[in-house]
């Protein structure tokens, strides 16, 4: 018989979809959910990049399947959720991780970059939440975990579209929680700190900005993708059943500085 903690934190029998999970934070969270017992749908735009992740999760003993989709295309997002539900007949966990960033001074930020960032980071998240939410509400249970950012709380520099989109993701998380918490669907968010990913490559390569950032982090290091493992498993599990509408900063202490 599973122990109390295994019952609370274990994800056996649950089906999870992690968008943008071909690499980086998404791949790490997909791995953590699989290790906790979930069956996992791996998503990205490039099908070729999904196969190695599926193989990795299968080696851990999890059932895994790839579904390619462009999160900047509403029709693709709806089809992604439909296919995710169809895989095993239900979807229990949705992690909205896919996102992009475009860097340029606000005065020079192009309409094309603004539109693309908002389309992927906000429109895609809402479309996925809406589609998955309908399914979860009908079943009376579900966990939605949106990936926010420190820029949900702060404005950032030279990333106006990204900051606007992540601020909106925080408010969307709270708005959906207000409607769905009483229907058995928990909607929360994780706000990662400065993590070593492709999205932060430019910052890591800039000696001045990298030093400024590191000096503000009490943990005295950049975050690694694996630092999100505990947070995502907790928010996906029964252990977080009374937590809803919360934006959890996993930031090495940045927000407390």
Annotation says 242 is catalytic: no
Report the 3 state secondary structure along the chain: CCCHHHHHHCCCCCEEEECCCCCHHHHHHHHHHHHCCCEEEEEECCHHHHHHHHHHHHHCCCCEEEEECCCCCHHHHHHHHHHHHHHHCCCCEEEECCCCCCCCCHHHCCHHHHHHHHHHHHHHHHHHHHHHHHHHHHHCCEEEEEECCHHHCCCCCCCHHHHHHHHHHHHHHHHHHHHHHHHCEEEEEEEECCECCHHHHHHHHCHHHHHHHHHHCCCCCCECHHHHHHHHHHHHCHHHCCCCCCEEEECCCHHHC
Which entry of 4, 162, 194, 242 is annotated as an active-site residue?
Answer: 162
Active site residues: 162
């Amino acid at each position: 018989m599973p122990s109390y903690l295994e019952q609370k934190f274990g994800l056996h029998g649950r089906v999870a979809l992690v968008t943008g999970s071909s690499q980086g934070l998404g791949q790490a969270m997909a791995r953590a959910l699989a290790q906790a017992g979930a069956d996992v749908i791996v998503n990205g735009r490039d099908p070729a990049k999904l196969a190695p992740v599926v193989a990795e999760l299968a080696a851990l003993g999890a059932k895994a399947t790839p579904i390619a989709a462009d999160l900047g295309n509403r029709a693709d997002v709806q089809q992604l959720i439909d296919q995710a539900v169809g895989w095993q007949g239900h979807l229990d966990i949705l992690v909205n991780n896919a996102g992009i960033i475009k860097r340029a001074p606000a005065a020079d930020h192009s309409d094309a970059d603004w539109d693309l960032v908002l389309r992927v980071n906000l429109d895609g998240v809402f479309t996925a939440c809406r589609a998955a939410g309908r399914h979860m509400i009908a079943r009376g249970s579900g966990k939605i975990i949106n990936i926010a950012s420190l820029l949900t709380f702060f404005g950032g520099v030279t990333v106006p579209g990204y900051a606007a989109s992540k601020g909106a993701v925080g408010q969307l998380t709270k708005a959906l929680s207000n409607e769905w918490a009483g229907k058995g669907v928990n909607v929360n968010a994780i706000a990662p700190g400065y993590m070593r990913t492709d999205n932060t490559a430019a910052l890591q390569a800039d000696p001045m900005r990298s030093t400024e950032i590191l000096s503000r982090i009490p943990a005295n290091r950049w975050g690694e993708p694996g630092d999100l493992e505990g947070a995502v498993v907790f928010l996906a599990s029964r252990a977080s059943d009374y937590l809803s509408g919360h934006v959890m900063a996993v930031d090495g202490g940045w927000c407390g500085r």
